[in-house]
Amino acid sequence: MLPDVGAALPELVVPITPTRIVAGAIASRDYQDVHHDVPAARAKGSPDIFMNILTTNGYVGRYVTDWAGPQARIVKIAIRLGVPNYPGDTMTLTGSVIRSEEDGTVEVAVRGANGLGDHVTGTVMLKGLGQ
Amino acid sequence: METDPLYEKVSAHLADPPSDPVPAWDPVNQPMIRHWCDAMGDELPIYTDAEAARAAGHPDVVAPPASLQAWTMPGLRTRGFQDGTTRAQAELVDAGYAAVVATNCEQTYHRYLTLGDHLYAVSKLESVSTRKQTALGEGYFLTSVTEYRDQHGELVGEMSFRTLWFKPKERA
C-alpha cells in the first residue's frame, strides 16, 4: 500500500544527553571539539556541546525507515539545521508524506523540534514502497 | 560596491582542483555499522541481519544510507580532504572566523552500501557566500560537493555540505 499524501508519521522523541551527543559523534568519527568538549564549545560562543550534523542525519534516516520498513530504499536526504541540540533538551521528530507516486516513490517532510525551535527540517525521498 | 578582500581571497579557491581521493580506512563492515546503529538507536534488521537484508532484496547486510559520510571521515591523527574547501577554511580561521557550524547537508544515494564495498571520496569547493550577518555572528558560508565511489569506480553517492565559519558574538 502506498501512503497517502498528508499521512503523518508517528512521532519520535529523542532525549538529548551528553552521552548521546558523544556516542553519535564517535560513531560518525567526528572529532570536532564542540561535540564533546564543554570548555572548547564555550570558547567558541556555544553554551554547551551540541549534536553534530551526521548524527542528526542518522536520526532523520532512522526516523523515516522506522516507519517505512526494511523494503524501502532511501534515495535522498536533504536537511537544513536550525537551532542546536544541547544536552538537557528533547528533540521531537515529526513527519508527513508530501509526495506519493504510483512507481513507489514517496517523499516525506521531516521536522525535528527542540525547546529552542526547529533543530532540523528537511525531506527524505524513498523508493520501493507499496511493493 | 564595497570590496571585501577576504571574500576575494577565499572565493579564489573555487578554481582549485578537486581533492586527491580519500580512501575509507576500511571496507564497509559490520562493527562500524553496528556502532552507528547503536548510537542512532536504529534497529532496522537489514543493517545487522543478512537474512533480513536478503529478504529485502539486498545481497548482504547493508549500511544505513545516512552513514555514507562517516566512512571517509578523518581520524584524530589522519587528515581528510585537502582541497579548495580546506584551504578556504584555513584562511577564514586565520582571519578570525574560527567557529564553525554545519547548516545544510544533502545526500543522494545511488545504491545501498554492502559489506566489502571500499569507498573513496573526492571533494571540491562549490560555492562561497559573501560576508553575512547571522544569529551566531558575522561569517561566510562554504559549500563543498563530494562524490563517493566504490573500489570499481562506480559512483555510489553524492553530498552537498554547507558550513558557516563565523566570529562568535560577544556573550552578554
Side chain identity at A55, as an amino acid letter? Answer: T
Question: Is the Cβ pair B168, A26 closer than 8 Å?
Answer: no
The domain segmentation of chain B, as residue ranges, is 5-24+74-168
Superfamily designation of domain B5-24+74-168: Hotdog Thioesterase (3.10.129.10)
In the predicted model, is pLDDT for residue B143 greater than 50? yes
* Phi, psi angle pair for B11, to nearest 5°: -75, -15
On whether any CB of chain A is under 8 Å from the CB of B102, the answer is yes
Grid cell of A103 as nine digits: 512507481
CA B94, B95, B99, B103 torsion: positive or negative?
negative
Which distant-in-sequence residues (6+ apart) come within 8 Å of B143 by Cβ?
B104, B125, B126, B127, B128, B160, B161, B162
B170 falls in which pLDDT band (50, 70, 90)? low
Min distance A64 CA to chain B CA atoms (Å) = 11
Taking every pair of Cα atoms in chain A, the longest distance, rounded to a whole number of angstroms, is 52
Alpha-carbon distance of B82 to B18, in angstroms, equals 9
In the predicted model, is pLDDT for residue B161 greater than 50? yes
pLDDT score at B130 = 96
| The CATH number of domain A8-17+53-127, selected from 3.20.20.450, 3.90.226.10, 3.10.129.10, 2.60.40.10 | 3.10.129.10
In this complex, the residue of A45, A54, A75 whose CB is nearest that of residue B108 is A75
pLDDT score at B77 = 81
In this complex, the residue of A70, A73, A76 whose CB is nearest that of residue B108 is A76
Residues on chain B touching A71 (C-beta within 8 angstroms): 56-57
Q: How many residues does chain B have?
A: 172
Mean pLDDT for B16-25 is: 94
Mutate to test the interface with A, among B40, B76, B145 (most CBs of A within 10 A): B40
Nearest to B65 by CA among A68, A4, A87: A68
In the predicted model, is pLDDT for residue B79 greater than 80? no
Q: What percent of chain A has pLDDT over 90?
A: 94
Q: Which residue has the higher pLDDT, B155 or B80?
A: B155
Please report, to the nearest 10 degrees, the dihedral formed by the alpha carbons of residues A14, A29, A22, B91 taken in order. -100
Residues on chain A touching B43 (C-beta within 8 angstroms): 66
Mean pLDDT for B105-130 is: 97
Question: Is the Cβ pair B102, A26 closer than 8 Å?
Answer: no
Mean pLDDT for B125-153 is: 96
Closest CA in chain B for residue A21: B39
Min distance B147 CA to chain A CA atoms (Å) = 14
On whether any CB of chain A is under 8 Å from the CB of B31, the answer is no
Question: Is the Cβ pair A77, B105 closer than 8 Å?
Answer: yes
Which distant-in-sequence residues (6+ apart) come within 8 Å of A36 by Cβ?
A21, A22, A25, A49
Min mean pLDDT across A24-33, A93-102, B71-80 is at B71-80
Query: Mean pLDDT for chain B?
Result: 94
Query: Mean pLDDT for chain A?
Result: 96
pLDDT score at B58 = 97
> pLDDT for A9-52, tens place per residue?
999 999 999 999 999 999 999 999 999 999 999 988 899 999 99
> pLDDT for B21-66, tens place per residue?
999 999 999 999 999 999 999 999 999 999 999 999 999 999 999 9
Grouping H, G, I as helix, E, B as strand and the rest as coil, residue A99 is: strand
pLDDT score at B171 = 55
Residues on chain B touching A62 (C-beta within 8 angstroms): 40-42, 44, 64, 66
Mean pLDDT for A104-128 is: 97
**Cβ neighbours of A43 (radius 10 Å):** 14
Nearest to B146 by CA among B65, B69, B32: B69
pLDDT score at A54 = 96
On whether any CB of chain A is under 8 Å from the CB of B115, the answer is no
Question: Is the Cβ pair B106, A23 closer than 8 Å?
Answer: no
Which distant-in-sequence residues (6+ apart) come within 8 Å of B42 by Cβ?
A58, A61, A62, A65, A66, B36, B64
Residues on chain A touching B64 (C-beta within 8 angstroms): 58, 61-62, 65
Alpha-carbon distance of A78 to B106, in angstroms, equals 4
Nearest to A54 by CA among B53, B166, B32: B32
DSSP assignment of chain B equals ----HHHHHHHGGGGSPPPPPEE-SS-S-HHHHHHHHHHHT---GGGT-HHHHHHTT-SS-B--GGGGGGGG---SSS----SHHHHHHHHHHHTT--EEEEEEEEEEESS--BTT---EEEEEEEEEPPPEE-SSEEEEEEEEEEEEE-TT--EEEEEEEEEEEEEEPPP-
In the predicted model, is pLDDT for residue A112 greater than 90? yes
ipTM rounded to 2 decimals: 0.96
Task: Check residue A7 and report its DSSP letter.
Answer: P
pLDDT score at B172 = 44
In the predicted model, is pLDDT for residue A61 greater than 70? yes
Grid cell of B138 as nine digits: 558575522
Question: Is the Cβ pair A74, B52 closer than 8 Å?
Answer: no
